[in-house]
């Protein structure tokens, strides 16, 4: 059914997306896989072809395993309408992805990143990246959520941002501090002056007035991190933009411990604020922090020493 594989992929993605999945990367990979099958003259999915395709590109076993897992999910669905389709067994490419150790930023490093943005070519680009860095550090938002904000999502008088269609299709309200609202208001006044006819309704725009692209943000981030003098702390701990989110989570819990607040209540509120559907995801952000573990240990020690 080679001619119908593209249609089958479209149907499969439509079903998954109706459940809230976004599937941008799987969509690209499945298009590449069906093109591979067509070149091979295959009429449906087979384990042999799936495995051969999964290990084609360079990369580590974890990436190969992910590619095969994408095909496995599609093959399991395809089998319901095409009995000849084969479902590749799990474990053909055993690989456990090692999660990166979070790079926890201190205030000086965040300031250095914002200062590095002053060297960017256009004044609006400088202001946009300084605002983006500050927003991520102050709220723990995901990069995609920040660049996805529209003007109508920012109620700066109430101090609330609305994240729409975040991870897993979830939306939420993100209250912000008065200083964050003030910084956003100042940025919007500047961008309206420098780019009065922006082509996008986005809060954060490029010098051309368009919404920031995820890939361009990451490319610029690498340049800013290098310019700010940030260096890897180990082979598995590098300065990633996503780690501003980790840093926010850790700082929030440290503040709670130092103020004597209820840690469990703070963790539950933090999980909701960050948009996690499972508190275990928030716990991962925290368990990788030696500073936080030390603070928790001190608090436990003080409790054990009570008369």
* 285 catalytically annotated: yes
Which string of DSSP letters, residue by residue, matches 5-45?
HHHHHHHHHHHHHHTT---HHHHHHHHHHHHHHHHHT-SS-
Which string of DSSP letters, residue by residue, matches 94-150?
---PPPPPP-PPPHHHHHHHHHHGGGSSSHHHHHHHHHHHHHHHHH---HHHHHT-B
Q: Of 49, 245, 246, 251, which one is the catalytic site residue?
A: 245
Do residues 290 and 254 touch, judged by C-beta distance below 8 A? no
Q: Of 12, 66, 273, 285, which one is the catalytic site residue?
A: 285
How far apart CA 68 and CA 76 sit, in angstroms, is 12
DSSP state of 276: -
> In b/e form, how buried is each residue of 160-185, taking b as 16+ CB within 10 angstroms?
ebebeebbeeeeeebebeeebbebbe
Q: Which residue has the tokens 């729409």?
A: 164
Kindly list the distances between the CA atom of residue 86 and the CA atoms of 33, 69, 80, 92, in Å, as whole numbers in the listed order: 14, 13, 11, 14
Q: Of 79, 172, 238, 242, which one is the catalytic site residue?
A: 242
* 28 catalytically annotated: no
* 67 catalytically annotated: no
Do residues 242 and 143 touch, judged by C-beta distance below 8 A? yes
Give residues with Cβ within 8 angstroms of 98, minimum separation 6: 236
Q: Of 167, 172, 238, 240, which one is the catalytic site residue?
A: 167
How far apart CA 84 and CA 110 sit, in angstroms, is 55
* 276 catalytically annotated: yes
Q: How close are the terminal C-alpha atoms of the chain, in Å?
A: 75
Quick count: other Cβ atoms within 10 Å of Cβ 192? 12
Do residues 102 and 285 touch, judged by C-beta distance below 8 A? yes
β-partners of residue 161 are 154, 174
Q: Of 67, 125, 142, 191, which one is the catalytic site residue?
A: 142
Residues with catalytic function = 142, 167, 242, 245, 276, 285
């Amino acid at each position: 059914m080679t001619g119908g594989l593209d249609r089958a992929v479209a149907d499969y993605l439509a079903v998954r997306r109706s459940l809230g999945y976004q599937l941008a990367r799987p969509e690209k990979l499945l298009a590449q896989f069906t093109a591979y099958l067509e070149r091979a003259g295959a009429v449906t999915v087979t384990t042999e072809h799936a495995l051969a395709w999964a290990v084609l590109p360079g990369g580590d076993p974890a990436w190969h395993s992910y590619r095969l897992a994408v095909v496995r999910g599609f093959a399991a669905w395809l089998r319901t309408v095409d009995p000849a389709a084969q479902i590749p067994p799990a474990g053909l490419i055993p690989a456990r992805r090692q999660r990166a150790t979070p790079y926890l930023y201190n205030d000086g490093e965040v300031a250095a990143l914002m200062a590095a943005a002053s060297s960017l070519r256009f004044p609006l680009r400088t202001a946009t990246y300084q605002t983006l860095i500050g927003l991520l550090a102050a709220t723990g938002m995901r990069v995609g959520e920040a660049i996805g904000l529209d003007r109508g999502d920012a109620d700066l008088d109430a101090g609330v941002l609305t994240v729409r269609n975040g991870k897993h299709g979830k939306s939420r309200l993100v209250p912000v501090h008065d200083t964050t609202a003030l910084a956003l208001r100042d940025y919007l006044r500047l961008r309206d002056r420098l780019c009065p006819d922006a082509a996008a309704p986005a809060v954060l725009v490029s010098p051309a007035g368009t919404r920031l692209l995820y890939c361009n943000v990451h490319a610029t981030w690498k340049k800013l991190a290098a310019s700010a003098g940030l260096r890897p702390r180990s082979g598995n701990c590098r300065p990633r933009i996503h780690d501003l989110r980790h840093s926010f989570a850790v700082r929030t819990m440290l503040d709670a411990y130092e103020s004597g607040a209820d840690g469990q209540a703070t963790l539950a509120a933090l999980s909701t604020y960050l948009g996690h559907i499972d508190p275990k995801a928030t716990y991962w952000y925290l368990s990788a922090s030696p500073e936080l573990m030390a603070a928790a240990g001190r608090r436990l020690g003080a409790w054990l020493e009570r008369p």
